[in-house]
Structure 1
Amino acid sequence: MRSFHSTSFAAPAQPFFREAGTGPGVVCFHANASTSGQWRALMEHLAPRFHVLAPDSYDAGQGPRWPSDRVISLRDEVALIEPVLGKAGASLAMVGHSYGAALALVATLAQPGRVGALALYEPTLFSLIDAQQSAPNDADGIRHTVADAAAALDAGNEDAAAEHFIDYWMGTGAWRQTPGQRKPPIAASVKNVRRWAHALFTEPTPLQAFRSLDVPVLYLLGKRSPPSAHAVARLLTAALPHVEVVEFAQLGHMGPLTHPEVVNPVIGEFLARHLR
């Protein structure tokens, strides 16, 4: 597996990405508080058949720092990874988890003709929930979590901020059970929680736009995920015209990281059917 910086295309910054395999292109987008490294097992699984690329988003892993005080949008993230999409070829698939799945949807709407298939694990487009029903609604849990994490950051407590964020997505006590060596990079990444929330809660794409996506979509979700993830799933699975839904009874929102041996074969089988 190769990892390097792209220099072939002009972009707002130089995207870092991992690369493996040959064949039709597959681009994988990671979740918040994560990096492209979360896809190592999937890349190994897909590499015998596909050319797999996994970029780091802004302020993640070896990705570039967000260069200004301006708030970030999903379209800014799409602009960053455009060189990686170009390297993947004319007809590619996208795989995304959480924030990365939201990014994959926005990128597909920008140029739908280049995408042959989408595999999404719980895209977090919370703007769709708020557009359907103003607060209080099913997005309140993550809204309050962001507020609590932001307050902890303002008090100088990155560990507490990470605990709020990770425990929301993985269950109470998850942060305390996280191995010590894994905590520092996660806690450091959570400093961007306000930016993530802004991008996801203010994304302007209306639900109606997703009805136009004439592309096969695999929509994966965990039965144990929080209400915000399930609320987005109800809206998107009703809107996407060619959607196949798989719910994992024993998994939660972080299923691609906690149980890749369960999730990855489902993604691989879907891509084998739809990407040639």
Structure 2
Amino acid sequence: MTAYKPITAARTFPGSARDDFARAYPDQPAKLHHALTGHELLTIPAIAELAERMPASSVEYNLGKLPLGIRAEDTPSNGLTLDETIRTIETNGSWAVLKNVERDPAYGALLDQALEELAPLVARATGPMLNREAFLFLTSPGSVTPFHMDPEHNILLQIMGEKVMTVFPAGDEELVPAIKSESFHAGGHRNLEWREHFRGRGTAFTLRPGEAIHVPVKAPHFVENGPAVSISLSVTWRSERSVAESELHGLNALLRRRGLPVTRIGTQPERQRARRLAYRVMRKLGA
């Protein structure tokens, strides 16, 4: 295993990026800048070495030229091993993600360095950062990440190559029906049903090396890769707000199954304490 140098104390996000983030967080997408381009941990050889150390359950890879809307069970395999996928990513037409890379000490330090710079800004808006995680994405030229949503607060940092992420408003129930949110928070897949008339509701952000984007919790999005291999680092966290939303959707799922009226989830779900407590009690009682 390569012995990497200690991470320097240089900032990941310059002051202007932190200002832009503070104005947008937690509800709006925002283009940011970062200083991790060229970092030795974020090259294809380093990522291939990391993948060899990771459990199979922490890696997902498949063919990358997909339609915007596809069911998880219909995603085609690329027929390669993980090592082959990473080392030939330029020509094999694939997409790969290494999950929870923060469990590796060097990558954990990289994540902590990045998020510590934003932690005071996050705390003022949604409380302390919870459950910090990091994900690495490698994408072949022309690949597509289908229309989906994620449960975390997320910043995607573009390291190599170029991609376009189209982000849609969170909370639009035509894009994400309430029943889909309920199943998603119960462990359902992130992929969403795509309809072409949705396209006009999204905002397209072109990401080049040194650029990043803040994606709000559950803001639907899809990603189209450019003509070169892409490497992206996603740094994520949860908050009391995101946890509260998950709990309230869980409560609504229980109520819906019993034919009872569901609760309205407000813009600050962390304040709906009585409903959250009711959900926890119902779960404890096996409801």
Whether TM exceeds 0.5 here: the answer is no
Specify which structure has the higher proportion of strand.
2
Bigger Cα Rg: 2
Which bracket does the TM-score occupy, shorter chain normalised? under 0.3
Return the TM-score normalized by structure 2. 0.25
Higher relative contact order (CA 8 A, sep 6+): 2
Specify which structure has the higher proportion of helix.
1
Return the TM-score normalized by structure 1. 0.26
